[in-house]
């Protein structure tokens, strides 16, 4: 079982899409094991997006992600990192396939509704940035036997 980090970004929260995002992953059979709403600090945002610190869009990205609350989540499932990335769609919603979260709901650019870890290393790092170990609940999902 893999774990991945997903966040509904401030635009998704403001557009009341939290439930929609959660529903997509629940319907796929993934298990939610961590959830909280936060207002991201500049310090956390800079650490989260440190791989982009030398890029021209870094300050705009930090400004956007700290502009309002976001919903941070940890999901668990088989091959979940790659599956969630497929479900989320291309970063720019203008180029995301229909049927993906971004393809269906994002108008493009940085306001793309949701963030999802892109690999196991990123997932582990992002989960540890947003969640203490005791905030992740490892529970038995009764439906699990029917979908795995």
* Residue 148 pLDDT grade (very low, low, confident, very high; cuts 50, 70, 90): low
Give the contacts of 102 (CB within 8 A, at least 6 positions apart): 88, 89, 90, 91, 92, 93, 96, 112, 113, 114
CA–CA gap between residue 112 and residue 30 (Å, rounded) = 22
Please give the positions annotated as active site: 115
List the chain domain ranges: 2-135
CA–CA gap between residue 73 and residue 147 (Å, rounded) = 21
Residues 111 and 13 sit within 8 Å (Cβ to Cβ): no
* Residue 15 pLDDT grade (very low, low, confident, very high; cuts 50, 70, 90): very high
pLDDT tops 80 at residue 147: no
Q: State the average pLDDT for the chain.
A: 95
In this structure, the number of other CB atoms found within 10 A of the CB of residue 126 comes to 22
User: What is the CATH topology of the domain spanning 2-135?
Assistant: Alpha-Beta Plaits (3.30.70)
pLDDT tops 90 at residue 117: yes
Q: Is the dihedral of CA 129, 20, 120, 34 positive or negative?
A: positive
pLDDT digits (tens, 9 = 90+) for 23-44: 999 999 999 999 999 999 999 9
């Amino acid at each position: 079982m893999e774990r991945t980090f997903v966040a509904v970004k401030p635009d998704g929260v403001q557009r009341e899409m939290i439930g929609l995002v959660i529903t997509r992953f629940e319907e796929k059979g993934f298990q939610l094991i961590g959830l909280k709403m936060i207002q991201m600090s500049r310090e956390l945002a800079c650490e989260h997006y440190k791989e982009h610190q030398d890029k021209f869009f870094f300050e705009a990205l930090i400004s956007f992600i700290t502009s309002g609350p976001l919903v941070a989540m940890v999901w668990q499932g088989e091959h979940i990192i790659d599956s969630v990335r497929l479900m989320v769609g291309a970063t720019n919603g203008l180029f995301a396939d229909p049927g993906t979260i971004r393809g269906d709901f994002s108008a493009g650019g940085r306001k793309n509704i949701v963030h999802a870890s892109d690999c196991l290393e990123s997932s582990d790092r992002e989960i540890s940035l947003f969640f203490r170990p005791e905030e992740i609940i490892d529970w038995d999902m009764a439906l699990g036997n029917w979908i795995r």
